[in-house]
């Protein structure tokens, strides 16, 4: 340890309300110099609000913040930067189309009128040499992998001279391997006394394996904390959700026979992304009736584009698609005839028209057919409403009336409405892309059980998810997607997490 430790950061008795919502209630947090401290909690527990109060985005209603034993008033992130406190955000704040060096120089409080690039590059290279990890400084940020971008965000804080670095879910965009690497480096730098680290997360493993201390928040209150060595993952889970973890694996009928004719066959599929670069590079996959195939992978490896091609939102540049043995082009007619259904992430944006009523949204798949449309043009409002009432009842959608605009419903109820629309008829192929993203516990359980029910009824399910736990809970077979290809396949019961992580990271 060096004598020149980072300052002690302390937040005492912080209260913060937004209107009627109490976001933080008497929360205290103490970040010891040179330690790695985790803030643990579910979505909406108040972790982000707490660090935003420290960073000066919000002003606490009451309570105090002190840096190095001195009480301070932090009015903006600039004040925080002056005190040596920097933050790495969940979404990258880098400018994609500029180089690493340009991003670093621009982040400084004072950029010279004329930038002497030779001197700057020399200085940045010297700085990089003293760091535990490197990023190629002349490359454009858009060419960096997600892990490198995350490292660059951290390096940027160190380059700016921050001694206290706050990170908001830094590992959510990383592969397990990259996450371990970054976390180990952060821990080592903290233990060398270079920085203090405060990290927001909801993964217990990161607490037990890397952190020195932990603070658990639930519904705006501090519900526990202390030295992380004193907690088991079960303790943390209990504190975090207020009960034991729910049972993950769901009841299911036996696995399908491998000889059945595949419902979906994808052969050598290729496609380009928005800037014309290859993003799917010869993807081949089969999904059989009564089977859930889970595609795991770090986001940005072509998953979005695969869903878009299957949904008809992007044209493929090569390869073949077959559904139930016949050639498949995702036109409205073929989607209907082949009984293909889609559960996208962010359903309000991707599967609904927010200003149209619940009844209208529930009828998007069928409104142009009998009995909703008569004589090819006359839409029957009463048939739509009748259909909507049945779906609202069956799927327990909480809505004031069938005529309410769907945008007024909560996230869980919007996803229930989409489930009702997509799953209430016979379905041969269901494509689900991060179907539980941003939903609460109850809605997640509902969505997952509906997917398993569909599978048990003989639907072929293609599940694309950034959440490995979700894939393990649902899939019969796991495939790993990397750089637009499927690089690894395993039945779920024999799946090895390390092996999957290695392939997700592109080490294969």
Partner 1 sequence: MDVETATSLGVWGLPLAIVGGMLRVSPPFLFVSLGECVTEKAGRVNLGLEGNLVMGAMVGYGLSYLTGSAWLGVLAAAFVGALLGALHGWLCGRPRVNDIAVGIALMLLGVGLAFFLGKGLIQPTAPRLPSFSLGFWSGRPQVVSALTIDLLFLIGVGLAPLLGWAFNHTRYGLVLRVVGESADAARAMGYDVNRVRLWATVFGGALAGVGGSFLSLYYPGSWNEGLSSGQGLMAVALVIFARWDPVRCLYASLLFGGASALGPALQSVGFTSGYYLFNAAPYALTLIIMVWSNSADKTSAEMPAELSIMR
Cβ distance to partner 1 smaller for residue 315 or 410: 315
Q: Please select the residue that binds partner 1; options are 24, 107, 409, 471, rule is CB under 8 A.
A: 107
H or E element: which one contains 107? helix 100-107
117 binds partner 1 (CB under 8 A): yes
Shortest CA distance to 446 belongs to which of 427, 409, 418, 479? 418
Selected range binding partner 1 among 25-33, 94-102, 261-269, 296-304, rule: CB under 8 A: 94-102
d(CA 23, CA 219): 7
Cβ distance to partner 1 smaller for residue 185 or 311: 311
Return the structure tokens found at 60. Answer: 């606490």
- # chain residues binding partner 1, by CB under 8 A: 24
Residues 358 and 392: beta-carbon distance below 8 Å: yes
CA–CA–CA angle 463, 430, 492 (5° rounding): 35
Shortest CA distance to 406 belongs to which of 350, 339, 341? 350
Q: Please select the residue that binds partner 1; options are 21, 115, 379, 390, rule is CB under 8 A.
A: 115
Shortest CA distance to 183 belongs to which of 194, 169, 193? 169
Cβ distance to partner 1 smaller for residue 107 or 479: 107
Query: Cβ of residue 451: shortest distance to partner 1, in angstroms?
Result: 33
- In eight-state DSSP terms, residue 276 is S
Selected range binding partner 1 among 16-24, 33-41, 274-282, 332-340, rule: CB under 8 A: 274-282
Cβ distance to partner 1 smaller for residue 106 or 229: 106
Query: Cβ of residue 277: shortest distance to partner 1, in angstroms?
Result: 8
Cβ distance to partner 1 smaller for residue 112 or 491: 112
Return the structure tokens found at 103. Answer: 């991003």
Q: What is the DSSP string of 116-179?
A: -HHHHHHHHHHHHHTSSS---TTSBGGGS-HHHHHHHHHHHHHHTT-SEEEEESTTTTS-HHHH
Q: Please select the residue that binds partner 1; options are 95, 123, 185, 356, rule is CB under 8 A.
A: 95
Residues 316-375 close enough to bind partner 1 by CB under 8 A: none
d(CA 162, CA 300): 30
113 binds partner 1 (CB under 8 A): yes
118 binds partner 1 (CB under 8 A): no
Q: Please select the residue that binds partner 1; options are 63, 68, 77, 405, rule is CB under 8 A.
A: 77
166 binds partner 1 (CB under 8 A): no
121 binds partner 1 (CB under 8 A): no
H or E element: which one contains 233? helix 233-241
Block residue for tokens 């892990």: 147
**Per-residue contact flags (x/-) with partner 1 for residues 233 to 272, judged by CB under 8 A:** ---------------------------------------x
Q: Please select the residue that binds partner 1; options are 142, 329, 374, 508, rule is CB under 8 A.
A: 142
Cβ distance to partner 1 smaller for residue 95 or 146: 95
112 binds partner 1 (CB under 8 A): yes
Q: Which residues of 415-448 are buried (b: 16+ CB within 10 A; e: fewer)?
A: bbbbbbbbbbeebbbbbbbbbbbebeeebbbbbb
Cβ distance to partner 1 smaller for residue 274 or 493: 274
Q: Which residues of 296-330 are buried (b: 16+ CB within 10 A; e: fewer)?
A: bbbeebbbbbbbbbbbeebebeebebbbbeeebeb
d(CA 122, CA 125): 5
Residues 366 and 388: beta-carbon distance below 8 Å: no
**Per-residue contact flags (x/-) with partner 1 for residues 285 to 324, judged by CB under 8 A:** ------------------------------x---------
Selected range binding partner 1 among 32-40, 112-120, 382-390, 427-435, rule: CB under 8 A: 112-120
Cβ distance to partner 1 smaller for residue 77 or 300: 77
Which residues of this chain interact with partner 1, rule CB under 8 A?
77-78, 93-98, 102, 105-107, 111-115, 117, 142, 272, 274-276, 315
């Amino acid at each position: 340890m060096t004598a020149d430790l980072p300052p002690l950061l302390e937040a005492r008795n912080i209260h913060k309300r937004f209107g009627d919502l109490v976001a933080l209630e008497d929360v205290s947090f103490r970040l010891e110099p040179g330690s790695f401290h985790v803030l643990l909690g579910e979505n909406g527990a108040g972790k982000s609000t707490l660090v935003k109060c420290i960073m000066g985005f919000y002003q606490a209603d009451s309570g105090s913040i002190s840096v190095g034993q001195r009480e301070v008033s932090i009015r903006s992130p600039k004040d925080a930067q002056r005190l040596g406190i920097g933050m790495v955000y969940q979404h990258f704040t880098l400018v994609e189309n500029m180089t690493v060096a340009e991003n670093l120089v621009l982040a400084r409080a004072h950029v010279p009128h004329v930038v002497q690039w030779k001197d700057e590059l020399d200085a940045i290279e010297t700085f990089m040499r003293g760091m535990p990890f490197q990023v190629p400084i002349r490359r454009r940020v858009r060419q960096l992998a997600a892990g490198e971008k995350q490292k660059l965000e951290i390096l940027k804080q160190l380059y700016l001279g921050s001694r206290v670095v706050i990170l908001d879910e830094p590992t959510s965009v990383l592969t397990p391997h990259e996450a371990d690497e970054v976390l180990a480096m952060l821990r080592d730098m903290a233990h060398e006394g270079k920085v203090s680290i405060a990290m927001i997360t909801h993964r217990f493993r990161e607490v037990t394996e890397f952190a020195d201390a932990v603070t658990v928040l639930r519904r705006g209150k501090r519900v526990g904390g202390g030295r992380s060595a004193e907690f088991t993952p079960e303790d943390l889970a209990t504190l975090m959700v207020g009960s034991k973890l729910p049972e993950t694996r769901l009841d299911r009928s036996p696995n399908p026979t491998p000889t059945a004719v595949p419902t979906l066959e994808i052969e050598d599929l290729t496609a380009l992304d928005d800037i014309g670069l290859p993003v799917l590079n010869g993807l081949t996959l089969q999904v059989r009736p009564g089977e859930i195939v889970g595609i795991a992978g770090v986001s940005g490896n072509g998953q979005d584009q695969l869903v878009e091609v299957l949904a008809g939102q992007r044209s493929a540049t090569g390869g073949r698609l077959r559904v139930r043995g016949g050639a498949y082009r995702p036109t409205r007619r073929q989607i209907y005839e082949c009984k293909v259904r889609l559960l996208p992430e962010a359903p309000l944006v991707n599967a609904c028209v927010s200003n149209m009523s619940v009844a209208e949204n529930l009828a998007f798949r069928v409104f142009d057919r009998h009995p909703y449309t008569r004589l090819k043009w006359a839409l029957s409002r009463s048939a739509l409403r009748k259909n909507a009432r049945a779906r609202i009842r069956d799927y327990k959608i909480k809505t004031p009336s069938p005529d309410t605009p769907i945008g007024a419903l909560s996230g869980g109820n919007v996803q229930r409405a989409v489930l009702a629309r997509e799953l209430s008829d016979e379905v041969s192929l269901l494509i689900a892309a991060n179907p539980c993203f941003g939903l609460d516990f109850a809605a997640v359980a509902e969505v997952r059980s509906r997917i398993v029910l569909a599978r048990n009824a003989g639907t072929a399910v293609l599940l694309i998810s950034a959440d490995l736990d979700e894939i393990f809970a649902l899939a019969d077979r796991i495939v790993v997607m990397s750089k637009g290809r499927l690089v690894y396949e395993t039945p779920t019961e024999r799946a090895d997490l390390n092996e999957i992580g290695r392939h997700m990271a592109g080490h294969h």
